[in-house]
Amino acid sequence: MTIVGTSVEYHDTIGGACSCESNTLRYGHHTKSQHACVENFLEANLIEGRGKRDMVSNINFFMNVPVEDDGALGIVDGISAPGLTVDLRADIDVIVVVSNCPQINNPATPSTPRRYG
């Protein structure tokens, strides 16, 4: 797919999707059983007969993941807000899988999830 328009300066292409394993590393073993985007993507693909090897890297629209001076990825407040958009063009037939998985353990996540739309 090609991004043909967006109302924000950037989207994250390197942060990847959270997983139960990465959540455990970042937030502690007590988070192992919490849902995560990788599992959401895998479950959606399995329903259609695709496995983990069939999955491609994700893009995090409206997410801010700066690369720190030491090379670490920072997780900071996102750049989403009501009315912001991203327009995509499918250049070939595609199946799109979306996971909206607010990370409840991240201090950048508000204590009360926001709903837009």
pLDDT tens profile 11-45: 888 888 888 888 888 888 888 888 788 888 898 99
Instruction: Note the pLDDT of residue 23.
Output: 83
Low-confidence ranges of the chain (pLDDT < 50): 114-117
> Taking phi first (over 0 means left), then psi (-120 to 50 degrees means alpha), and beta for anything else, what does residue 59 get?
beta
pLDDT at position 90 is 96
- Is residue 58 within 8 Å of residue 70, measured between CB atoms? no
